[in-house]
Amino acid sequence: MGTALDIKIKRANKVYHAGEVLSGVVVISSKDSVQHQGVSLTMEGTVNLQLSAKSVGVFEAFYNSVKPIQIINSTIEMVKPGKFPSGKTEIPFEFPLHVKGNKVLYETYHGVFVNIQYTLRCDMKRSLLAKDLTKTCEFIVHSAPQKGKFTPSPVDFTITPETLQNVKERALLPKFLLRGHLNSTNCVITQPLTGELVVESSEAAIRSVELQLVRVETCGCAEGYARDATEIQNIQIADGDVCRGLSVPIYMVFPRLFTCPTLETTNFKVEFEVNIVVLLHPDHLITENFPLKLCRI
C-alpha cells in the first residue's frame, strides 16, 4: 500500500472566489512512518489556449499553441524534511486568493480551445530510493458577482419558411409556424435558460425539437485570431410530433465547468449561443440562433 497523499479542500463544492481563503488539509496516511525531504503545496491558475486546426494548420495547431497565461501561482513549504509517524497525518493549509498586479481571477472554464483551470499540487520529496509523491487537485473559482443591475432581455421569435435564410428551394419546404420566446438572453449562469415554444402549425410531422448550447471561443494570437463555435450540449425538448398550439417549455440548465460568464479579454473570448433546432419529417433541419450573455450575480 505504501504511502498515500491526498488533498482535501474544505468546501465540498470546491468553489472559491477571489479574495477568499482557500483552505483544507493535506492528508498523509501510511502504515509505517514516512521519511521525507519536505512537503510543499503549489496553487496554480492558468488559461490554456489552443488554436483550432481550422483556423491554422494542423501542425501549427498542435505545436504552436499559444503560451499558457498564468493567472496565479504560489508555493508554500508545508513541512520541513523529516518523518511522519505511522497512521494518518493531516496538515492544514490556507491560501489567500489574491492576484498580483492587474491580473483577474477568471472563472473556471473547461472548453475546447480555451481552458481556465485552477489546481492545487502537493509534492512530497523523498530520498533517492523512493519516488516523490505528487497529488493534484482542481478547485473551482467563480468570478465575483457582476456589478450593476441584472436586466432580463426577453426575446420573442417566430419561425416560418419565410424567416429562414440559407434555403435553396424555399418552395419545397413544408409550411409551418413556430412561435416562442426566451425569457431572457441575458442569463444568470446558475439559473436555467427558460422560455416557451409553440408549434402553431406544421404540415410536416415534427421529429424533434432540440436546444443546442454552443460555445464560441476566440483566441487572439500573432497571426490574428481564431473564432470557433462548438457544441457543449444538446437537449431535446420535444420528441415526436407534439401537440399543436400547446406550449413546450424551453428549459436548459447551464452545465457547470463547461460554461462560465461570458468572458472577453485581450487575448481570448468565451461566448455562448443557443440554437433552437427543429427537425421535421422527412429530413428538414431548421435552426434559430440566439446569442446569450451569461453572467453571475
Partner 1 sequence: MAPAEVVTRAVRSGELPLTSMASAENEACAVRSVACPSQAWRLQKVLCGRCGAASCPSQTWRPGGAGRGGVRMGSRADGPRTSGHVTGKMAVFPWHSRNRNYKAEFASCRLEAVPLEFGDYHPLKPITVTESKTKKVNRKGSTSSTSSSSSSSVVDPLSSVLDGTDPLSMFAATADPAALAAAMDSSRRKRDRDDNSVVGSDFEPWANKRGEILARYTTTEKLSINLFMGSEKGKAGTATLAMSEKVRTRLEELDDFEEGSQKELLNLTQQDYVNRIEELNQSLKDAWASDQKVKALKIVIQCSKLLSDTSVIQFYPSKFVLITDILDTFGKLVYERIFSMCVDSRSVLPDHFSPENANDTAKETCLNWFFKIASIRELIPRFYVEASILKCNKFLSKTGISECLPRLTCMIRGIGDPLVSVYARAYLCRALLTEMMERCKKLGNNALLLNSVMSAFRAEFIATRSMDFIGMIKECDESGFPKHLLFRSLGLNLALADPPESDRLQILNEAWKVITKLKNPQDYINCAEVWVEYTCKHFTKREVNTVLADVIKHMTPDRAFEDSYPQLQLIIKKVIAHFHDFSVLFSVEKFLPFLDMFQKESVRVEVCKCIMDAFIKHQQEPTKDPVILNALLHVCKTMHDSVNALTLEDEKRMLSYLINGFIKMVSFGRDFEQQLSFYVESRSMFCNLEPVLVQLIHACVAYCFITIPSLAGIFTRLNLYLHSGQVALANQCLSQADAFFKAAISLVPEVPKMINIDGKMRPSESFLLEFLCNFFSTLLIVPDHPEHGVLFLVRELLNVIQDYTWEDNSDEKIRIYTCVLHLLSAMSQETYLYHIDKVDSNDSLYGGDSKFLAENNKLCETVMAQILEHLKTLAKDEALKRQSSLGLSFFNSILAHGDLRNNKLNQLSVNLWHLAQRHGCADTRTMVKTLEYIKKQSKQPDMTHLTELALRLPLQTRT
Q: What residue ranges bind partner 1 (CB under 8 A)?
A: 11-13, 206, 209, 233-243, 246-249, 251-253, 255-256
CA separation, residue 190 to residues 85, 145, 187 (Å): 45, 12, 8
- Distance of closest approach, residue 189 Cβ to partner 1, in angstroms: 12
- Distance of closest approach, residue 191 Cβ to partner 1, in angstroms: 12
CB distance 213 to 231 below 8 Å: yes
CB distance 271 to 259 below 8 Å: no
Name the residue nearer to partner 1 (CB basis): 97 or 238.
Answer: 238
CA–CA distance, 76 with 99 (Å, rounded to integer): 16
CA angle 63, 64, 69 (to 5 degrees): 115
- Distance of closest approach, residue 87 Cβ to partner 1, in angstroms: 19
- Distance of closest approach, residue 194 Cβ to partner 1, in angstroms: 9
Residue 189 phi, psi (nearest 5): -65, -25
Name the residue nearer to partner 1 (CB basis): 171 or 246.
Answer: 246
CB distance 197 to 183 below 8 Å: no
Could you tell me which of 144, 258, 253, 278 has the C-alpha nearest to residue 194?
A: 253
Name the residue nearer to partner 1 (CB basis): 84 or 272.
Answer: 272
Q: List the grid coordinates of 96.
A: 489567500
- Distance of closest approach, residue 15 Cβ to partner 1, in angstroms: 10
Name the residue nearer to partner 1 (CB basis): 138 or 239.
Answer: 239
Q: CB under 8 Å to 129, separation ≥6 — which residues?
A: none
Name the residue nearer to partner 1 (CB basis): 133 or 206.
Answer: 206
Name the residue nearer to partner 1 (CB basis): 25 or 78.
Answer: 25
- Distance of closest approach, residue 282 Cβ to partner 1, in angstroms: 16
Amino acid at 237: I
Amino acid at 226: A
